[in-house]
Amino acid sequence: MKKFLPALLFTFFAFTMIAVIMRFVPIGDPHLPGYADFIASDVTKAKVIEKADSVALHYARNGSLDTGALDIIAATIFDYRGYDTLFEVTVLFTSLIGVLSVIGTKES
């Protein structure tokens, strides 16, 4: 039973992740939103870049409308990239735990 449960959990998560990967867009597709800006830069015309529907342009234009934050950087790191910031704080907390486990005293 002890070995069966982790195997079941592993199978479940592996199946879920593979199912998500199957639904990914193909890597290197030039029509992806992130690549559009790169393609338009070949033309070196500002108007073409304006038309391009890139992710960065979307953040710059709709950042405060999407999130309600006036600061575009706060909108990016706390809303669009919320997972990143969450695990940054978790990494900091883990570093504290590591330091305490090596040189921490009993009362601290």
Partner 1 sequence: MDEKNRKKPEYDAGVVIQLVTRMMCPFIMMFGIYLITHGHLTPGGGFQGGVVIASAYILFALVFGKTEARAGASGFTLKCLASTGIYLYIGAGLAGIFLGYHFLANKAAGIFPCGMLGELLSAGTLFWIDIGVGLAVASIFTDLFYTFLEEKRDDVYIKNKKELPLKRRWSDVDRNDSE
- Binding residues for partner 1, rule: CB under 8 A, are 64, 66-71, 73-75, 77-79, 82-83, 85-86, 88-90, 92-93, 95-96, 99-100, 103-105, 107-108
Q: Smallest distance, Å, CB 88 to partner 1?
A: 8
Residue 15, token pair as written in the block:
């199946």
Output Rg (C-alpha) for the chain, integer angstroms.
22
One-letter amino acid for residue 24 of the chain: F
Contact 66, 75 (CB under 8 A): yes
Q: Smallest distance, Å, CB 13 to partner 1?
A: 17
**Cα-Cα-Cα-Cα dihedral sign, residues 48, 50, 53, 54:** positive
Nearer to partner 1, 53 or 71 (CB): 71
> CB neighbours of 57 closer than 8 A, spacing ≥ 6?
37, 49
Q: Smallest distance, Å, CB 78 to partner 1?
A: 5
Nearer to partner 1, 34 or 104 (CB): 104
Nearer to partner 1, 43 or 86 (CB): 86
